[in-house]
Chain A
Amino acid sequence: MKAAEVARAIVSTLPDARCVSSLGTATSAVRAASGDGPHFYLGAAMGSALAAAMGVAEALPDRLVVAVLGDGELLMGASTLWSVSAYRPGNLITVVLSDGGYAITGGQQLSAPPRFAAVAQAMGGIAGLRVGSDLELRHALCELERPSLIEVELTEREWPGPSPFVDPAQVRLAFGAGLAPVPPA
């Protein structure tokens, strides 16, 4: 699959979900697939996207939240998997775009195969699965017990869409629009 196809599968299979996307391919792909929908696009802070998604998921317990992460991104913040395992937000799906490289910096290879699905499966409390096709991905998005981690094998590197250099103010305001207001303390 290509990153753009992964994002399109997420957005069309779970249209009411909110995505939290990491810098680079993931943010570009979700922007393209959703037409700049109200998602939390990270424009930097590599290593923090899964933690941010966990925060969103626990703040929006009635809504599905999908962390869309590059594999290099998740390596930088992999310890958050242990926190997901500990607190187990039941509305959090993590989708890893697994191509073995750092796309945003020019495609340099990761030093070791990440094997995130196997790691997630081993730690308990996270259902981990590696998929390679659109059909498998859509099935996993709907059917895997949550929290889940779906590692999608990318077979083709192709820049998926618009720039990942988002306007933070615009992202923040768009994300909040449409959410029920939080009552003042």
Chain B
Amino acid sequence: MANDGRQTRATDEQRLDWQLAVADTLTARGVTVAAYVPDTRLQGILSRLEDNGVAMRSLTREEECVGYAAGQRIVGQRPVVLMQSSGLGNALNALGSLAVPYRLGLPLVISMRGTLGEANPSQVPLGRATAQLLGALGIQAFSLRAAAAAGPATAGMLTLAFDAGECAALMLEAELGGGREGG
């Protein structure tokens, strides 16, 4: 393989407990590949997934992540898609006209921008609209704000995706920390 998806790694000290819990729950529930577009708040999850032996696919665009994961799901594999809320707009067509109608049950982990503490006005509209956009497509989205809920919320979202066959999203809110809302 020419590129194993390795990127600048978060050190153990930089990883937050909730990031480890999300990653370890994904791994425990059988996720074998992560398709993602990089993001600061996601980094601790991504590096832990890589340590856990999950194949990492850093793709060029969020829509591509959904398409890739759709291909994995139709074979019966267990991928996860990780993106920033600002990239959700790029992914809507693949979600609405592929993942949802084919009932492929994709789990989405979305790092929120544009909410509490956001300093960049260009991030605000899509962050404000994330849950509504997903909801309009019939995708349930669950906000994660407390570290203690990270494992159970991730597990519940994966049950919806893999067992019920419904696309589902976990929104990583600013209260968790680990992001760059001010920058």
Binding site for B on A (CB under 8 A): 20, 40, 42-60, 77, 79-80, 82-83, 85-88, 125, 168-169, 171-172, 175-176, 179, 181-182, 184-185
Contact = CB atoms under 8 A, between A and B. Distances in A.
Q: Give the one of B28, B57, B67 with max A CB within 10 A.
A: B67
Contacts of B117: none
- Those 6 A-B pairs whose CB atoms lie nearest each other, nearest first: A55-B71, A185-B30, A51-B67, A48-B67, A44-B97, A182-B76
A176 B67 CA distance: 17
A45 B97 contact: yes
Nearest to A124: B2
B72 interface: yes
B60 interface: yes
The DSSP consensus for interface residues of chain A is helix
A108 B60 CA distance: 28
Contacts, number: 131
B93 A48 contact: yes
Contact of B76 (A20, A168, A181): A181
B22 interface: no
Contact of A47 (B65, B68, B93, B102): B93
B157 interface: no
B75 A85 contact: no
Contacts of A88: 1-2
B74 A48 contact: no
Contacts of B76: 59, 176, 179, 181-182
A172 B74 contact: yes
Given A54-B68, A79-B61, A182-B75, A87 B30 contact: no
B121 to A, nearest CB: 27
A177 to B, nearest CB: 11
Contacts of B33: 58
Nearest to B29: A185
A115 B1 CA distance: 26
B2 A79 contact: no
A87 B93 contact: no
B182 interface: no
A45 B67 contact: yes
A150 B61 CA distance: 24
B104 interface: yes
B30 A46 contact: no
Nearest to A48: B67
Contact of A77 (B2, B63, B79, B101): B63
A57 to B, nearest CB: 8
B75 to A, nearest CB: 4
B103 A48 contact: no
A45 B71 contact: no
A48 B101 contact: no
